[in-house]
Amino acid sequence: MRLNGKVAIVTGAASGMGKAIAERFAAEGAKVVVSDLREEAAQAVVTGIEAKGGQAIAVVANVAKEDDVQRLVDETVKNYGTVDILINNAGIMDNFVPAADLTDELWDRVMAVNATGPMRTTRKVLPIFLEKGKGAIVNIASVGGLYGSRAGAAYTASKHAVIGFTKNVGFQYATQGIRCNAIAPGGVNTNIGTTMNQPNPFGMEKAMSGAGFNPRAGEPWEIAAAALFLASDEASFVNGAVVTADAGWTAY
The catalytic residues are 155
Q: What is the DSSP string of 126-164?
A: HHHHHHHT-EEEEEE--GGGTSS-SS-HHHHHHHHHHHH
Q: How far apart are CA 141 and CA 170, in angstroms?
A: 15
* Strands of 53-191, DSSP E: 55-60, 85-88, 135-140, 178-185
Q: How far apart are CA 191 and CA 67, in angstroms?
A: 26
* Length in residues, the chain: 252
Q: What are phi and psi of 49, to 5 degrees?
A: -65, -45
Q: Give residues with Cβ within 8 angstroms of 173, minimum separation 6.
A: 126, 129, 130, 180
Q: How far apart are CA 207 and CA 195, in angstroms?
A: 17
Contact 156, 148 (CB under 8 A): yes
Crossing angle of helices 117-132/66-80, nearest 10°?
A: 30
